[in-house]
């Protein structure tokens, strides 16, 4: 859409944040704690971002950060703390003691939409500004020292301009921020996987105390949890399949087949109240900065959910960015801002590698040869029989150090 040449209302802030997902909300909290003004613009309503159900696994350092910021009370009451995971293949189960291998670190299963609810409530209570339901968002002047964000508060409202020193594009893969970087300077790397996940939420008690990742000849399966009453499970499927082809009976049949083991473990069924199919990709955009615009979270990178890295990478991005902005406003230093992309990408590519590794090792790719499938099984066998390999997996899973 062409940009308007005039606006009816003019606003000013230090950092304009596009997107109220995990990246944008965490950044707003971090900046406000440093005394930096910011405004968050979000195209969806508050109800939409809070009620869109998405799973979430938080690395140890993210849990620690939320607690340090005073945002973790409900997470500590309602989250599920896992000290390990189970890898299941060839009908056998193998426990990976992540806490024992990493000096006590663990992960917390706490859904992303619950994190968003906590961050939104705390930000608004603290006097922060989130503009929900905005439209026609356009970024201007990102290569100048006076960038701005044009938007409408309602579809029929006047076009306004939010003038700022810096813009943080936290608006996801389909948002306008990445598109504001000229194609000539944007390098995009992508892998689209030939499989997807069919995910369900079911009313049932936990079938297992921790996550189970299963490699089966019929395809991958994952058992997770949401609460003592609600469980989340996934099975590998064709990403182009129609969810209407999957009856509840068919889903349960596949889950039983793929998650079974030789020790007689059984899966507890319940009423399925949500189901859907998601495609999977790996994606990275370089650089993550152009002029006064910084990309963070899904606007800059996507990982398949197998490695449980998406939300954690978003928080890592904005933690780096908030520190760089703090140094700029306190002492005029720009080295952190100039290094932002390189610093973030070093961590991102490690997470991309781990997510790709977990995904290819655990799934059955229909295009693979029997040789390649046997290599993946050998990889799993090596992981569960080598302490060094188990440690490497555990270190990546619970989260690499931020510094």
Q: CB count, 10 Å around CB of 183?
A: 8
* E-assigned strand segments in 323-397: none
Of the residues 110, 193, 213, 234, only one is catalytic, namely 213
Beta-carbon contacts of 69 under 8 Å, excluding residues fewer than 6 positions away, are 29, 30, 33
**Token pair for residue 154?**
């309602």
Asked if residues 284 and 301 have their Cβ atoms less than 8 Å apart, the reply is yes
Q: What Cα–Cα distance (Å) separates residue 134 from each residue in 62, 73, 148, 284?
A: 29, 30, 15, 27
Of the residues 29, 105, 309, 376, only one is catalytic, namely 309
Q: Quick check: is 82 catalytic? A: yes
Q: Quick check: is 397 catalytic? A: yes
Rounded to 10°, the helix 310-331/60-68 angle is 50
Q: Quick check: is 330 catalytic? A: no
Q: Quick check: is 22 catalytic? A: no
Of the residues 147, 176, 304, 305, only one is catalytic, namely 305
What residues pair up with 90 in beta bridges, in sequence order?
none
Long-range contacts of 153-162 (CB under 8 A, 24+ apart): 158/7, 158/8, 158/9, 159/4, 159/6, 159/7, 159/8, 160/7, 160/8, 160/9, 160/10, 160/11, 161/7, 161/9, 161/10, 161/11, 162/11, 162/12, 162/13, 162/16, 162/39, 162/41
Q: What is the rounded CA–CA span in Å between residue 398 and residue 239?
A: 28
Q: Look at residues 33, 41, 64 and name the one whose alpha carbon lies nearest to residue 127.
A: 33
Of the residues 82, 105, 216, 301, only one is catalytic, namely 82
**Token pair for residue 54?**
């998405």
Asked if residues 63 and 69 have their Cβ atoms less than 8 Å apart, the reply is no
Of the residues 110, 234, 340, 397, only one is catalytic, namely 397
Q: Quick check: is 305 catalytic? A: yes
What radius of gyration, in Å, describes the C-alpha atoms of the chain? 22
**Token pair for residue 52?**
């869109």
Pair type for strands 38-42 and 129-132: parallel
Residues annotated as part of the active site: 82, 213, 305, 309, 397
């Amino acid at each position: 859409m062409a940009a308007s040449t005039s606006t009816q209302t003019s606003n000013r802030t230090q950092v304009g944040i596009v997107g109220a997902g995990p990246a944008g909300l965490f950044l707003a909290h971090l900046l406000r704690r440093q005394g930096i003004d910011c405004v968050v613009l979000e195209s969806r309503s508050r109800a939409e971002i809070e009620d869109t159900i998405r799973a979430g696994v938080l690395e140890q350092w993210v849990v620690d950060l939320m607690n340090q910021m005073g945002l973790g009370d409900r997470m500590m009451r309602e989250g599920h703390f896992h000290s390990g995971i189970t890898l299941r293949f060839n009908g056998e189960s193998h426990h990976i003691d992540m806490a024992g291998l990493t000096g006590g670190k663990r992960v917390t299963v706490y859904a992303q939409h619950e994190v968003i609810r906590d961050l939104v409530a705390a930000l608004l209570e603290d006097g922060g500004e989130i503009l929900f339901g905005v439209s026609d968002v356009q970024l201007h002047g990102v290569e100048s020292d006076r960038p701005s964000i044009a938007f409408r508060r309602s579809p029929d409202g006047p076009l306004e301009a939010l003038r700022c020193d810096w813009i943080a594009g936290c608006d996801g893969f389909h948002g306008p921020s990445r598109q504001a970087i000229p194609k000539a300077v944007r390098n995009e790397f992508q892998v689209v996987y030939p499989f997807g996940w069919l995910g369900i939420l079911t009313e049932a008690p936990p079938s297992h105390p921790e996550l189970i990742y299963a490699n089966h000849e019929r395809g991958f399966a994952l058992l997770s949890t949401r609460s003592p009453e609600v469980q989340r499970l996934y099975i590998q499927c064709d990403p182009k399949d129609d969810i209407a082809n999957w009856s509840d009976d068919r889903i349960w049949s596949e889950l039983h087949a793929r998650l079974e083991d030789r020790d007689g473990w059984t899966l507890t069924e319940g009423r399925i109240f949500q189901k859907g199919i998601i495609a999977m990709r790996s994606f990275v955009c370089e650089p993550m900065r152009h002029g006064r615009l910084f990309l963070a979270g899904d606007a800059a990178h996507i990982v398949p959910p197998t490695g449980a890295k998406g939300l954690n990478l978003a928080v890592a991005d904005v933690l780096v960015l908030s520190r760089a902005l703090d140094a700029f406003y306190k002492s005029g230093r720009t080295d952190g801002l100039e290094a932002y992309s390189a610093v973030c990408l070093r961590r991102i590519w490690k997470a991309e590698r781990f997510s790709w590794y977990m995904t290819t090792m655990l799934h059955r790719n229909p295009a693979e040869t029997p040789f390649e499938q046997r290599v993946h099984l050998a990889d799993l066998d090596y992981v569960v029989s080598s302490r060094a390999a188990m440690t490497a997996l555990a270190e990546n899973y619970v989260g690499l150090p931020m510094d």
